[in-house]
Amino acid sequence: MPSFIVLMLAICAVWLPALRLTSRLCVPPWLPLLLLAMTMGLLDGQLRAVAALGIVVLGTAAWGSTHAPHAWQRRSLLALALLLALLMALHRWPGFINTLVVPPTRITADARPFMLYANFDKGVAGLLLLALLAPRSHAWREWQGALRLTLLPGVLTIALVMGLGWLIGLVSPNLKWPGFTPQFLVINLLLTVVAEEAFFRGVIQHRLQQAWQGLRGGVVLALILSAVLFGAAHLGGGLAYAALATVAGAGYGWVFQRTGRIEAAIVLHFALNAVHFISFTYPALA
């Protein structure tokens, strides 16, 4: 999985300062790492040419959605970027050969079967949205401020979501640490959580907040809509699972709106997933 490892390094590198090559040319560290991951993926068979083409078009559209000279061009490119990112996240764009890390298994006897993939398509979509469109922290003091504002809403969100899940019989307390837990946590954070938060909070909620900031209740409406869309994206797990995802999405949207930084939503989303995986039935009771 060398190409996946380099892709995950590229995602981490989004928060590093740009590399100054000349007095006029700066390169963000994630970009050469992404190009290296793509090259390695093409060479080791994890990517085909059509996948690389999709990545290039997505990156170009995302960049153009903030740099094109006319508003209609920016809106059109943003719509294209979101469509391509959604297709990649749903594994509908061809040419990606994702790696099965954990084959179908029941983590506990009472749980539904679970399998773990390292998804290059979803990870690279998240990277480009995160790097080019999502509002991020650029200094440690911004991280500190965002995390401080996330603590109380985060604890309430985790307690509410997992409590509701237990109450309706979707999960039950089950403390565990399977052998693949470290792999799950890393892959979940970098290839799943980052992508979902970059899409739903970093782009959808952020852009709606900007568009509706002059409307009474516009910020709240943007939060609710992004949460409902997030829940709808989890309908594959059933209506109860999607409803819980909507509640969780509202919590992620709350901390994003409160801090204005994508890191708050990422940290809370990952914390809830980690609590769910380690302390409760995963993914749900059979």
d(CA 22, CA 79) in angstroms, rounded, equals: 34
Residue with tokens 């590399």: 19
pLDDT of residue 231: 97
For the residues 268-274, what does the mean pLDDT come to?
Answer: 98
Strands 99-105 and 114-118: antiparallel
**Residue 237 DSSP label:** G
pLDDT band for 20, please (50, 70, 90 cuts): confident
pLDDT of residue 157: 98
Of 37, 33, 284, whose CA–CA distance to 161 is shortest?
Answer: 284
pLDDT band for 21, please (50, 70, 90 cuts): confident
For the residues 213-242, what does the mean pLDDT come to?
Answer: 95
Residue with tokens 């290039």: 56
d(CA 11, CA 190) in angstroms, rounded, equals: 7
Arithmetic mean of pLDDT over the chain: 96
Tens of pLDDT, residues 229-266: 999 999 999 999 999 999 999 999 999 999 999 999 99
1 pLDDT above the threshold of 80: no
Tell me how crowded residue 205 is: count the other CB atoms within 10 A of its CB.
Answer: 28
pLDDT of residue 5: 96
pLDDT of residue 175: 97
Q: How far lies 157's CA from each of 36, 38, 251, 258, in Å?
A: 38, 37, 5, 14
Residue type, 75: R
- Token reading at 14: 């989004």
For the residues 69-83, what does the mean pLDDT come to?
Answer: 97
For the residues 147-172, what does the mean pLDDT come to?
Answer: 97
Whether omega for the bond prior to residue 283 falls within 30 degrees of 0, making it cis, is: yes
Tell me how crowded residue 176 is: count the other CB atoms within 10 A of its CB.
Answer: 14
pLDDT of residue 198: 98
**Residue 25 DSSP label:** -
d(CA 202, CA 265) in angstroms, rounded, equals: 9
pLDDT of residue 22: 84
SS3 243: helix
Tens of pLDDT, residues 36-61: 999 999 999 999 999 999 999 999 99
Strands 26-27 and 19-20: antiparallel
What phi and psi, each to the nearest 5 degrees, are found at residue 180? -95, 15
Residue count of the chain, please give it. 286
The pTM score is 0.96
pLDDT band for 25, please (50, 70, 90 cuts): confident
The separation between CA 286 and the C-alpha centre of its own chain, rounded to angstroms, equals 26
Residue with tokens 């989004």: 14
Tens of pLDDT, residues 97-113: 999 999 999 999 999 99
